[in-house]
Structure 1
Amino acid sequence: MPESEPWEYTLYVPNDVRAVTVSRRTLRLILTMHGLIGLVDTAELLATELVANAVRHTKGPAALRVRWSAGVLRIGAWDADPEPPRPPAELANLGDAEEGRGLALVRACADLWGWQPLTRDGNRGKYVWCELTTAA
């Protein structure tokens, strides 16, 4: 049974492709410990895409942020690049494309997604997020 109390975790990661695996495994542990095992597979996919984009397309550090509140799981990735993400294509239109699938998967699998510019500790960047809701 998922917890009813809100909680939030932030995992800061270096600009290193291994950060994607660390983020995915950490997310699985967090969700399992909070009784949200039913969201793990989809949440892992979404977090993988968000963190991979942050690491692949920027040069600075990044962070995975996971928040639970009122039956909504928000997964987000912060990175130091203030440029907005490219709008996602329709997943069905990507065919065998090797790039551009990340945000298309996020849009297809999440209940809601978006991005916002951020300033953190005097550094500019952006936060790309998505939400999964649990069945009531």
Structure 2
Amino acid sequence: MVTVALPDTWVYALRLPHDPRAARVARMTVRAALHSHGMGEVLDTVELLASELVTNAYRHTQGPASLRLTALSDGRLRVGVWDSDPYLPAPFDGSPRDRVPPVAVGADGGRGLFLVQQYADSWGGRPLGGDPLGRGAGKLLWFEVGGRN
């Protein structure tokens, strides 16, 4: 009998249309992938933060988005969300020490990026390409959670 060892690293990628249901599809995908890989300890955090980034992609762009889940060899999980707008919002536009202030209690929105900086172990972002007229190929925002101590 042959024993197959499952890899410690894996990647899932999901293309999302510009659709108000995209965040729900992203949450379902995150839940299924993390359950199947036994990563229940980070599931709620990843589901929330991925949903926030996908929601922002829908609200602030007119194009599609992509979600990518990457299990790294040291036990960390990196989640990336690409969208078609090259603008990098805080805290992704600077040092991880730069902080987004808390949102007022009665505000209708604006909590997503604050949640990322509160619950992710690290985060970053970068614009992707572009041309001389300022039209970019979008941006990639990412965060990481977990890892072996």
Question: Does residue 54 of structure 2 align to residue 51 of structure 1?
Answer: yes
**Is 1:58–1:80's contact at 8 Å kept on the other side of the alignment?**
yes
- Write out aligned runs for 1:4-83 (5 A): 5-69=8-72, 70-83=74-87
1:128 aligns with 2:137: no
Percent of aligned pairs sharing the same letter: 46
Runs of 4+ in 1 over 2 A off after TM superposition: 86-91, 93-96
Give the Cα separation in 2 of the matches to 1:113 and 1:65.
14
Are the aligned partners of 2:16 and 2:64 in contact in 1 as well (CA < 8 Å)? yes
**Amino acid aligned to 2:89:** P
1:57-95 residue CA offsets vs partner (Å, 9 max, x unmatched): 00001001110112111111100111112446223x532
Bigger strand fraction: 1
Q: TM-score normalised to the size of structure 1?
A: 0.87
The equivalent residue for 2:100 is 89
Any conservation in 1 of the 2:64–2:84 contact (CA below 8 Å)?
yes
Q: What's the Cα RMSD here?
A: 1.9
What's the offset of the Cα at 1:43?
0.6
* Aligned partners of 2:11 and 2:68 also within 8 Å: yes
**C-alpha contact (below 8 Å) 2:76/2:148 kept by paired residues:** no
Q: Secondary structure at the match of 2:128?
A: strand
Unaligned runs of 5+ in 2: 1-5, 92-98, 130-135
Q: Which has the higher helix share?
A: 1
Give the TM-score taking structure 2 as reference length: 0.80
Equivalent residue in structure 2 for 1:112, among 104, 108, 122: 122
2:7 and 2:107 map into 1 onto residues whose CA distance is 41
Instruction: Tell me if structure 1 keeps the 8 A contact 2:81–2:142.
Output: yes
User: Highest Rg: 1 or 2?
Assistant: 2
User: Unpaired runs of 5+ in structure 1?
Assistant: none
Aligned residues: 131
